[in-house]
């Protein structure tokens, strides 16, 4: 298989169109189509279904796309390792951040990265912990910040910080600012992400451990939408302080500490344990740990 053909196929698959891919790759569309067709002939599989609106992946195409991303990522890492012969940190490193942290970490991380590794390329993506863990395994991400991650043979976890979780309600609701006992959380209608969201699983586990069944008013995936519904009176939420203070209208809400016991969310730096880290990735690990700890401890 030709690496260039794989790269062409991935771009067509991701953009869903030969026309858009040819523009992005700066290659004539007939030449691009020919290269992808040669790949199909070699593999004896139809990878893409052409239609008037673009292309869709066949089952074989989906399998190849998943593996091709990993192969191309490994090629990038090889180039990076070779560049170290010249004593520079180069290549590409891809990190994943939870949406609530991306808002406060992206700019300082990027600033520090450019100063430390001017010849390297940084890719930052947002995602839920489960999705990012899958991306670590497939090679689409090199490093991710994961909440409440469980030990796994495939993933190495470095404890970073713990964030206090708070009961978030409308500013005008009763009890604003007063602590609430963990066992009393079951009395409140909660707007919470659907399973297997890490926050949802953590909250449910902690409540069930003390014999309390959470009252789920609504399942919503997305912090912004959850807070909008809280502001509209649909229920209350359990979130970190950062999730509220970085919201569009933080003054709409009051936050109540959860006590006896407190409810805390653990944040980890995660990497693929079966893929040796390159020099650039090791430097990024140290940078990410320092920047995240400094910022999250101040907030």
Gap between the Cα atoms of 48 and 126, Å rounded: 28
Lookup: tokens for 29: 């569309």
Stated as kind and residue range, the H or E segment containing 267 is strand 264-272
Is 3.60.70.12 the CATH classification of the domain at 89-160+266-298?
Answer: no
The token pair at 165 is 């979780």
Tens digit of pLDDT per residue, the chain (299 long)?
788 999 999 989 988 999 988 988 889 999 999 999 999 999 999 999 988 788 999 999 999 998 888 888 777 777 766 666 555 667 788 999 998 899 899 999 999 999 998 888 899 999 888 889 888 887 778 999 999 988 888 899 999 999 999 999 999 998 888 999 999 999 999 999 998 888 999 999 999 999 999 999 999 998 999 999 999 999 999 999 989 998 889 999 999 999 999 999 999 999 988 777 778 888 999 999 999 999 887 66
Spacing of C-alpha 155 from chain mean position:
15
What topology does CATH give the domain 3-78? Answer: Arc Repressor Mutant, subunit A (1.10.10)
- Please, where are the H alpha helices in 84-240? 99-116, 129-138, 198-209, 223-231
Portions of the chain given CATH number 3.40.190.10: 89-160+266-298
Cβ atoms within 10 Å, residue 280: 27
Looking at the chain, which residues constitute the CATH 1.10.10.10 domain(s)? Answer: 3-78
The pairing of beta strand 155-170 with beta strand 143-147: unpaired
Specify the domain boundaries for CATH 3.40.190.290 within the chain.
163-265
Please, what's the b/e burial string for 177-209 (b: 16 or more CB within 10 A of its CB; e: otherwise)? eeebebeebeebebbbbeeebbbbbbbbebbee
Q: Which CATH class is domain 163-265?
A: alpha beta
């Amino acid at each position: 298989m030709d690496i260039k053909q794989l790269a062409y196929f991935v771009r067509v698959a991701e953009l869903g169109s030969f026309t858009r891919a040819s523009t992005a790759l700066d290659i004539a569309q007939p030449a691009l189509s020919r290269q992808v067709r040669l790949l199909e002939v070699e593999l004896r599989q139809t990878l893409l279904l052409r239609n008037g609106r673009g292309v869709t992946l066949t089952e074989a195409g989906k399998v190849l796309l998943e593996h091709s991303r990993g192969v191309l990522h490994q090629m990038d890492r090889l180039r990076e390792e070779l560049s170290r012969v010249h004593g520079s940190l180069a290549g590409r490193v891809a990190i994943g951040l939870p949406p609530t942290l991306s808002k406060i970490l992206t700019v300082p991380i990027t600033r520090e990265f450019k100063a430390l590794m001017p010849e390297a390329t940084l890719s930052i993506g947002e995602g839920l912990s489960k999705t990012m863990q899958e991306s670590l395994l497939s090679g689409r991400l090199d490093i991710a910040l994961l909440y409440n991650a469980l030990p796994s043979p495939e993933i190495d976890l470095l404890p970073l910080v713990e964030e206090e979780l708070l009961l978030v309600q409308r500013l005008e609701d009763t009890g604003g600012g007063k602590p609430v006992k963990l066992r009393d959380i079951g009395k409140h209608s909660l707007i919470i992400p659907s399973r297997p969201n890490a926050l949802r699983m953590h909250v449910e586990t902690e409540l069930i451990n003390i014999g309390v069944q959470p009252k789920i008013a609504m399942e919503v995936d997305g912090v912004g939408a959850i807070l909008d519904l809280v502001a509209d009176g649909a229920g209350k939420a359990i979130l970190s302080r950062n999730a509220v203070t970085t919201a569009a209208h933080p003054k709409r809400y009051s936050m109540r500490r959860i006590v006896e016991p407190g409810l805390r969310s653990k944040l980890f730096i995660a990497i693929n344990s079966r893929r040796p880290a390159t020099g650039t990735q090791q430097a990024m690990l140290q940078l990410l740990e320092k920047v995240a700890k400094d910022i999250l401890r101040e907030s």
